[in-house]
Structure 1
Amino acid sequence: MKILVLGAGVVGTASAWYLRQAGCEVTVLDRQGSAGMETSFANGGQISVSHAEPWANPHAIPQALAWLGKEDAPLLFRPRLDPELLRWGLSFLGHCLPGRTRENIRAIVKLALYSRERLQALRRELGPAFGEAYDCLEKGILHIYTDRQEFARAVEAARLMGEFGLERHPLDVDGCIAVEPSLAEARHLLVGGDYTASDESGDAHRFTQALAARAAAAGVEFRYGCPVTSLELADGRVRGARLQDGSLERADACVLALGSYSAPFLRPHGVRLPIYPAKGYSATLALEADSIAPTVSLTDDGHKIVFSRLGQRLRIAGTAEFNGYNLDLNPVRCKALVSRAHSLFPGLRYQGEPQFWCGLRPATPSNVPLIGASPLPGLWLNTGHGTLGWTMACGSGAALADLILGRRPEPDFPFS
C-alpha cells in the first residue's frame, strides 16, 4: 500500500515511521526545507502525560474573564470577526461542563500513556544514541503552584488522572524543592506541587529530525519544499495530492498531519475540522556553566509556562494567543517568559540574547486530537494535538498505522 503523509512535523514524521515499519510504501510531503520546522521547532520540550487536563474545564471561563485585556495574560483572545473562532469558542464552552471534562481527560491520558510507552520502546529499538540526539531526560515533570485554590484543584485533577492510570503525587513546598533544588530561592512564591516521575523531556525538533533520518534510511521518501495545494479525488475517494507546481502525487491513501493548517486545507473539500491555531511562545537560553537553572522539567500552572532543560540550554515556553494564523512575535509576551524565569530562578545566567519563537498549536475545543478516518474515503487524520503533539506523536502514529491496516489500536481512545 502506498501512503502519502502530508506534513513532516513530529506527528507526520512519527506516522511515516510506523507506517513504514508496518510494510507500507511511504512518501512524506512538506513545504519546509526539512522536518520539524514549524510547530515542532521550539516547543516546550515535554513528554507530559501529567498535562492531560484540557483547557476546557469548569474553571476556564472565570480564568479567561480575569485575563481579558492583559497583554501578557497566559490566555489571550484577540478581538476579531472570525466565524471559525466563534464556532470553535462555542464548542469550547460546551466542553467546559464537568462530565465532558472528565471524558476528555480520560481520552487524553489513555492516548498519552500509550504514546509515552511507544516512545520508550522506540528508544530501546534505536539505541542510546537516539535519545542523546534529542537531549532526552527521564527525570519526570514537576508541576508547581503559587495559588492555593489552583493547588487544591490540581490535587483533585491528580486524583482523577489516577483513576485512568497516571500517577501524579502531590507535594508540599519542601517536597518540590527536594525534587528540583534550583527552586529554593522561590520558596516564598510556592504553595505546593505535584510530581510525575514517569514523564520525560527532550527537544522535539531534534527528535523529529533524528526520526526522519532513521525513517529515510528505512525507505521512507521525504520530499521537502513541496507545498500541497489540494487533494485529488476520483470515484469519490482520495487518490493522491496536487502539489503547488501542478504535479500530482498518487497514492492508495493520504494522512493529513498539517497541524493548524489542516482545517483550512480541508475546507474547500467540504470538510470542517474543529481546529483553531493557538499561538504559543518560547524562549531558549544558552546557559552559563554556573547558572542556577532547573534540570527537572517544570510546569508553572498559574502562568501556563513550562521549563525544560535541553543539554546546556533552557527552553521556556507556553501561553496561548488566539489571533488567527498570525506568526508575529509579541515583545510583551516574549518578555513575560524571561521575567517569570528570573522570578523563579534568580541565579539564572545565560549567554547572549534569548532566542524567541512562536508556533501555531492545532487546538481542538476538547484538546482531544483527531485520529482516524476522515469523511473523505482514503483520507486519514492525525491532527489537532494542541499542546501535546510531542507527547502524543509516537502513540498517534502507531495507532493510525494500525487503523489504516485494519487492525485494532491498543489505546482506549475515541478514534474516528
Structure 2
Amino acid sequence: MKVIVLGAGVTGVTTAWYLHEAGHEVTVIDRQPAAAMETSFANGGQVSVSHAEPWANPGAPFKVLKWLMREDAPLLFRLRADPAQWRWGLQFLRECTPARTRHNIRQIVSLGLYSRGQLQSLRQRTGLQYDQLTQGILHFYTSQREFDDAQAPARLMREQGCELDMKTADECVAIEPALAQCRAKIVGGSMTPSDESGDAHRFTQGLAGLAQQQGVRFLYDTRILGVQREGQVVTGVQVADAQGVVRIERADAYVLCLGSFSRGLARDLGISLNIYPAKGYSVTLPVTAPEQSYSVSLTDDEYKLVFSRLGDRLRIAGTAELNGYNTDLNLLRCEAIVRRVRELFPNMTDGQGAQYWTGLRPATPSNLPYIGRSVVSNLFLNTGHGTLGWTHSCGSAAAVADIVSGRVPQVDYGFMGQPAPQRWWGGAVAAT
C-alpha cells in the first residue's frame, strides 16, 4: 500500500520507518529542509516512562492560578481571545479529577513502556547512536509537600509495571553525585532505572537517513497547501516545492504527524482535534566542569525542568507557555532556566556559551495523544504527544503501522477507531 506521512519530526520519521518495515511504500512530506527541525530539534532528551503524571491533575488548578502572573512559571497561560485556547483550558480542568488522572496515568505508562521497548529493539537492529545514556532518570523534589503528593501517583505507576523506587535525599546524591551541590534543598526523589536519555534530533535525522537508504521517499522543503477529500476518503495532498511548483501527491493512506499544526489540517477535513501548542524552552550548555556535571538524567519537580547529558553538552528543558502559535524566544524564561541551573549546580557552569531554543509541543488536555484511525476512512492520526513525543514516538509509530496494516496493536491503549476497549473516549470527532 502507498502511504503518505505528513510531518518529519520524531513522530513522523518513526511512523515512516515502521510503515516501511511493515511492507508499505512510504513518502514523507515536510516544509523544513531536513528531519526534526522544529519541535524535535532541541527537546529535553528524556525517554521517560516515569514522567506519566499529566499536567492535568487534582493539584493543577491551584498551581495554574498561583503561576498566572509569573513570567517564569512552569505552566503559563497567556489568556487570549482564542476559542481554541478556552476550549482546551476547559477540557484541561475536566481532566483534573482524581478518576481522570488515574485513567490517564495508566494509559501514559502503558504506551511509554511499550514505546521504550520498541526504541531499544530498534537501536539494537540499526546500531543508531544518538548520545544515548541508559542510566535511568532520577526525579528529585525540593518541596516536602510535593514529595508527599508524589507517593500515590508513584504507586499507580508501579502497579502498571513502571519500575519506580522512592529515594531519600542521601540516596539521590549517591545516584548522582553532582546533586551534592544542592543537597540541602533536596527532600527526596524517585528513580526509574530503566528510563533513558538521548538526542532526539540526532536520532531522528539518523533514522531518516537509514529509511531513505531503504527506499522511503522524503519530500523536504515542501509545503502542504491542503488535502483533497471525496466523501469519507482522502484523495490527495496538494503541495508546493521549494520552487513554488504545485502538484498533487496521492496515496492509499495518509498519516497525520504535524504536531501542533495537526489541528488546522484536521479541521479542514471536518475533524476536531483538541490540540493546543504548549511552547517549551531549552538551554544547551557546554560541559566545562566534567567532575561537577551530572550524567544521570534528572527531573526537577519544583521548576518542572529536565536535565540530560548529551555527550559534551548539557541539555536543560521545560516549562509550558500557552500563547497560541507564537514562537518568539522569551529571554526572561530562558534566563530563568539558567538561574535555576546555577542555583542547583553552582560549580557546574557559569552560564557562558548557553544556546537557547523554543518549540511548540502539541498538547492535549489529558496528555494522551491521538493515535489511530480518524473518521475519514484512510486518514490515520499520530499526533498530540505534548511533552512526551520523544518518549512515545517508537511505540505510537509501531502501533499506527499495525493499525494501517489491519493488525491489532500489541499495547493496551485506547486507540481511536478501534473496537472497545482500545477506543479512547477523547478521540477525534466531527468538527462543529
TM-score (normalizing by structure 2): 0.94
Contact 1:291 1:350 in 2 (8 A): no
Q: Which amino acid aligns with 2:368?
A: V
Give the 5 Å matches for 1:193-342. Answer: 193-244=189-240, 245-290=245-290, 292-342=292-342
Per-residue CA shift, 1:289-330, capped at 9, x if unaligned?
A: 546111000000110100000001000100000000000011
Q: For residues 182 and 46 of structure 1, what CA distance do their matches in structure 2 show?
A: 18
Q: Which amino acid aligns with 1:148?
A: Q
Q: Which amino acid aligns with 1:198?
A: S
- What is the Cα deviation at residue 350 of structure 1? 6.4
Q: For residues 384 and 349 of structure 2, what CA distance do their matches in structure 1 show?
A: 36
C-alpha distance 206-33 of structure 1, shift in aligned 2 (>3 A): same
Residue in structure 2 matched with residue 401 of structure 1 by the alignment: 401
- What is the Cα deviation at residue 351 of structure 1? 8.2
Q: For residues 410 and 377 of structure 2, what CA distance do their matches in structure 1 show?
A: 23
Q: Is 1:152 aligned to 2:168, yes or no?
A: no
- What is the Cα deviation at residue 225 of structure 1? 0.3
Residue in structure 2 matched with residue 185 of structure 1 by the alignment: 181
Per-residue CA shift, 1:352-407, capped at 9, x if unaligned?
A: 52100000000000000000011112100000000000000000100000000110
Q: Which amino acid aligns with 2:97?
A: L
- What is the Cα deviation at residue 272 of structure 1? 1.3
C-alpha distance 353-57 of structure 1, shift in aligned 2 (>3 A): same
Q: For residues 295 and 105 of structure 2, what CA distance do their matches in structure 1 show?
A: 28
Residue in structure 1 matched with residue 166 of structure 2 by the alignment: 170
Residue in structure 1 matched with residue 131 of structure 2 by the alignment: 135
Q: Secondary structure at the match of 1:302?
A: coil
Q: Secondary structure at the match of 1:251?
A: coil
Q: Which amino acid aligns with 1:176?
A: C
Q: Which amino acid aligns with 1:325?
A: Y
Q: Is 1:363 aligned to 2:363, yes or no?
A: yes
Question: Which residues of structure 2 form unaligned runs of 5+?
Answer: 417-432
Q: For residues 22 and 68 of structure 1, what CA distance do their matches in structure 2 show?
A: 47
Residue in structure 1 matched with residue 373 of structure 2 by the alignment: 373
Q: For residues 240 and 350 of structure 1, what CA distance do their matches in structure 2 show?
A: 53
- What is the Cα deviation at residue 79 of structure 1? 2.0
- State the superposition RMSD in angstroms: 1.1
Per-residue CA shift, 1:79-138, capped at 9, x if unaligned?
A: 2101000001111111101111111100110001000000000111112xx13xx10000
C-alpha distance 375-285 of structure 1, shift in aligned 2 (>3 A): same
Contact 1:57 1:95 in 2 (8 A): yes
- Aligned residue pairs total 412
Q: For residues 232 and 157 of structure 2, what CA distance do their matches in structure 1 show?
A: 42
TM-score (normalizing by structure 1): 0.97
Contact 2:168 2:188 in 1 (8 A): yes
Give the 5 Å matches for 1:380-399. Answer: 380-399=380-399
Q: For residues 17 and 284 of structure 1, what CA distance do their matches in structure 2 show?
A: 29
Residue in structure 1 matched with residue 59 of structure 2 by the alignment: 59
Contact 1:286 1:351 in 2 (8 A): no
Contact 2:289 2:347 in 1 (8 A): no
Contact 1:287 1:350 in 2 (8 A): no
Q: For residues 53 and 11 of structure 1, what CA distance do their matches in structure 2 show?
A: 21
Contact 1:145 1:190 in 2 (8 A): yes
Q: For residues 309 and 231 of structure 1, what CA distance do their matches in structure 2 show?
A: 41
